[in-house]
Each structure stands twice: as C-alpha cells, then as structure tokens.
Amino acid sequence: MKVVSFYRFLDLPQAGQFRDDLQALCDEQGLLGTILVAGEGFNGTLAGEELAVATVFSWIERQLGLDSAIDARWTEAAEAPFLRMRVRCKPEIVTLGRPDILPHEKTGIHVKPENWNALINDPNVLVVDTRNHYEVEVGTFPGAVDPQTDNFRQFNQFAAELAEQDRNKPLAMFCTGGIRCEKATALMLELGFDEVYHLQGGILNYLQNVPEDENQWQGECFVFDKRVAVDRDLAEGGYVQCHACRRPLSTTDLESPHYIEGVSCPHCVG
C-alpha cells in the first residue's frame, strides 16, 4: 500500500471542526495513520490506497482554499505500518514548544534536493540535523551536526547555544520530511541568523529525487511507523524497534546479550 507524509503551515482558526470532518473522511476512505492539526496548520502520515489519499488531499485543498497542491512524500509498504486512524488537535503540528514561531510567515530558504549537495559541501556552511539523536544514529549526511536531542522540544537549547557562538555562519538544516527543519529555520531567524537554508521535502524527498551516483546520504532513514527505517531506495530497511524503549535496533544490537525481545535492548537495559 501507499504511505504518504505531508504537512502545510498555514492559519487554521477552526482546527476543531476541521479535525472532526477530516477524521470522518479518512475513516470513510479506509485509511490508517495519524494527522495532527493546530492553529499553525496540519501534519500527517497516511497509509492506504492511492485514490483514497488523493480524495483526502482534494478535500483538504478545497476546504482550506489552498493555492497549491499538497506537497507529499510517497513511499510503499507491504503491509499497513499503522494500527488505526487518528486525527488529533494539538497546540503545534510539530512540538517545538514555541507555538508563536510561524513558518508560514517567516522561514528559511527552501533548497531543492538537486541543489542540496552543493550547499552541504560548502566548507563555510554549518550542516545541522534537526532530528533526534536515535534517528541520527540510523543515518545522516556526512559532516552534519547532531544536536543530541531526545525530542524536538530540546532543540531550543541547542539553537540558543549555537546563536551565542556565531550568528554569521550560514546554516543548512534538514529532517525526515521537511517539517522540523522548516520550523527550526524560523527559530534560527528569530535568534538572529541571517542566512538559513532547509532541505525541501526533507530526506525522503532527497532519496526520491537524487540519482544513486550523486546520493550522499549515509545509512538508512528512521520513520515513525512499523517499518522503523527505509533504505536509500525508500524500501523497508534493516532495523527493528525495541518495544521497551522504542529505539531503532541494528543487527549488532540484536546480537547483544542485553537484547531480550519485548523486554530490553543495549540502549535501555540499565
């Protein structure tokens, strides 16, 4: 089945009613996944038939009067990576802890996948992976800084410390599907950085559009569903997930004496 990730920052004043109507439509179309809605927009991942997803996208575009089609990252899965369909209202569609940061009003410069390599290979540019530490362990771009966060809310502290060091250095930021790095660039602009870029559509868009001989991604890409990670071809990768701490586990982790299925792994045994 198709698995599609998407988001849009925009003003959404009637988030509650939008949530109710969207839940009903997704249920009607037999879709599974999670969509978050807030005053700042929507963010979700859906799994199901391509026509059903297209029906939902068309409804959202009409309902909100969007001036362009929803930009989405499409992959495939052999079986449903979600157990249910949930549309939820939240204070933010990506939890930075700063609902006042509005990327649809001010954000960094989008960089298309085909132009990303040139940017991150510039020695004057600081490349920042805005994802969590356990995601970075699975894969990242060469030379990228790991903020060492366990959740996106912790990125605030990393950003503040970085701003104290050098606000004049150009930043190139990326994440899985584009939403975290887009909000992160808005934060960095508020902190006084002048030149901030982010990878349009995130890692998934890069893997989908950059030819194999030009692809600089190292490892796999963690995804927040039952697949755990996808490889450079966007096929299900080689990781499994610890059911105790939810960390992605490599084949080396599975060989550890500390790995007991459903109980513990080398990351959480203590």
SS3 173: strand
Domain 2-89 adopts which CATH fold?
Alpha-Beta Plaits (3.30.70)
At 5, which amino acid appears? S
Find where tokens 């530490």 sit: 133
For residue 169, name the pLDDT band (cuts at 50, 70, 90): very high
DSSP secondary structure of 38-99: ETTEEEEEEEE-HHHHHHHHHHHHHHHT-SSPPPEEEEE-SS-S-SSEEEEE-S-SS--S-T
More confident of the two residues 21 and 225: 21
pLDDT greater than 90 at residue 195: yes
Handedness of CA 64, 38, 99, 180 (dihedral sign): negative
> Rounded mean pLDDT of 244-262?
91
**194 alpha-carbon distance from chain centroid:** 24
pLDDT digit string, tens, across residues 210-225: 999 999 999 999 998 8
For domain 109-219, the CATH class is alpha beta
Residues 187 and 98 sit within 8 Å (Cβ to Cβ): yes
Give the tokens for residue 136: 């970075």
> Rounded mean pLDDT of 88-105?
95
What pLDDT does 77 receive? 87
What pLDDT does 243 receive? 85
Residues 243 and 234 sit within 8 Å (Cβ to Cβ): no
Pick from 269, 94, 48: which is nearest to 198 by CA? 94
Contacts of 51 (CB under 8 A, 6+ apart): none
What pLDDT does 207 receive? 96
Find where tokens 């540019």 sit: 125
SS3 143: coil
Which long-range contacts link 129-137 to residues 24+ away (Cβ below 8 Å)? Answer: 129/173, 129/174, 129/175, 130/155, 130/173, 130/174, 130/175, 130/180, 130/181, 130/184, 131/175, 131/176, 131/180, 131/222, 134/222, 134/247, 134/248, 134/267, 135/176, 135/222, 135/248, 137/248
- Hey, which residues are catalytic here? 175
Instruction: Look at 49-53, 70-74, 75-79, 90-94 and tell me which has the smallest mean pLDDT.
Output: 75-79
Break the chain into its structural domains and give their ranges.
2-89, 109-219
